[in-house]
Amino acid sequence: MFKIGEFAKLNRITISTLRHYDAINLLKPVRIEEATGYRYYSAEQMPYLSRIFRLKEMGFSLDEITLIMEGDGDKDGLMRLLSLRQAQIRDTIAREEGRLINLKDFMRDLNQEGNAMEYNILLKKTDSIKVAGLRDFIPGYTEQGPLWEELVSYIKENHGKIVPPCIAIYYDNKGPESLVDAEVLESISGDLKGNERITVRYLESVEAACVVHKGSYGKLGQAYNALSAWIEEKDLKIAGPQRELYLKGEWDSDSEEEYITEIQIPVVKKDAF
């Protein structure tokens, strides 16, 4: 057996850490001398301590490690926990890779300040097109995925035909302030009936300030900035919910830089009110 200091050095760990592991019942000494209070550890405990180290490196908390070690014989339970942690790590990597891309884009944009993208903004009457739409509250503007999946599945199951473009409309929020009131729409042809969730109608034609943006959705803010400044400069007033028409996206392009989105904001002259 080894005294606590010896065991700590052999395992490259501090004495205070071993005392803490003892206090939380994660790793207790094999013997404590009654007279001196000295703690003694065994070489047989080293593999156990090594497993603790590995679990810590995987990101498990000490509370989680304690539960894992208590159920050490439950291999299936441990494998489930490890699989869950694996999925969490992959999710973290994906988020960090996204942040890295945003960081690189931001650095590039800083270097290109003064050379902002030129936008051709025009006022036009939009077309009235037949659409199937699904409106609901979503956590954020980029979290439309479940709505699109539900809408497209319904159209296909009911033998509808989808034609370009697909559209998103963002309404003035009458619900929880933390959510976005959004509608996703697919342009359709042929006969299709709606249900309690999905409406089939002709999207009304409006007079709108319009701009086309080429590039990733993450850079749509540049187009919105240009469009907002133009509306203000022309002394116009927003008269309806904004629309985003996705003319080219991930379904027919290998690069986000090739995405094409048209933004339409209904407007009227201020003296029309």
Q: Which helix (H) or strand (E) holds 222?
A: helix 220-233
At 188 the pLDDT is: 95
User: Going along the chain, which residue ranges are E strands?
Assistant: 2-3, 31-32, 39-41, 122-125, 129-138, 161-170, 180-189, 198-203, 207-214, 236-238, 242-248, 260-269
125 alpha carbon, distance to own chain's centre: 35
* Cα angle, residue 211 at apex, residues 206 and 214 outer, rounded to 5°: 140
128 and 44 belong to one structural domain: no
Q: What is the pLDDT of residues 133-162, one digit of tens each?
A: 999 999 988 899 999 999 999 999 999 999
62-73 in b/e burial notation, b at 16+ Cβ within 10 A?
eeebbebbeeee
At 210 the pLDDT is: 95
Q: How confident is the model at residue 121 (pLDDT cuts 50, 70, 90)?
A: very high
Q: What is the pLDDT of residues 53-81, one digit of tens each?
A: 988 888 888 988 888 887 765 777 778 88
In the block, tokens 């006969």 appear at 191
pLDDT for residue 266 is more than 80: yes
52 and 151 belong to one structural domain: no
Q: What is the pLDDT of residues 213-252, one digit of tens each?
A: 998 888 888 899 999 999 999 999 999 999 999 999 888 8
φ, ψ of residue 138 to 5 degrees: the values are -125, 160
pLDDT for residue 263 is more than 90: yes
| 201 assigned to some structural domain | yes
pLDDT for residue 85 is more than 90: no
At 221 the pLDDT is: 85
Q: Whole domain around residue 20: which residue ranges?
A: 2-72
At 107 the pLDDT is: 82
131 and 55 belong to one structural domain: no
| 91 assigned to some structural domain | no
Task: Name the CA dihedral angle for 168, 171, 175, 179, rounded to a multiple of 10 degrees.
Answer: 40
166 and 263 belong to one structural domain: yes
64 and 153 belong to one structural domain: no
User: How far is it, in rounded angstroms, from Cα 218 to Cα 229?
Assistant: 19
| 64 assigned to some structural domain | yes
What value does the mean pLDDT of the chain take? 89
CATH of the domain at 24: 1.10.1660.10
* Cβ proximity of 162 and 155 under 8 Å: yes
| 160 assigned to some structural domain | yes
At 112 the pLDDT is: 60
At 35 the pLDDT is: 87
Among 13, 46, 72, which residue terminates a domain? Answer: 72
> What count of other Cβ atoms lies within 10 Å of the Cβ of residue 256?
14
Query: Tell me, what amino acid is at 168?
Result: A
135 and 241 belong to one structural domain: yes
| 187 assigned to some structural domain | yes
pLDDT for residue 113 is more than 80: no
| 32 assigned to some structural domain | yes
127 and 252 belong to one structural domain: yes
249 and 136 belong to one structural domain: yes
* Percent of the residues in the chain that have a pLDDT greater than 70, as a whole number: 96
| 37 assigned to some structural domain | yes
154 and 229 belong to one structural domain: yes
Number of domains in the chain: 2
pLDDT for residue 105 is more than 70: yes
258 and 126 belong to one structural domain: yes
Indicate the burial class of 207 (C-beta count within 10 angstroms; 0-12, 13-18, 19 or more): middle
| 108 assigned to some structural domain | no
At 178 the pLDDT is: 87
248 and 165 belong to one structural domain: yes
53 and 173 belong to one structural domain: no
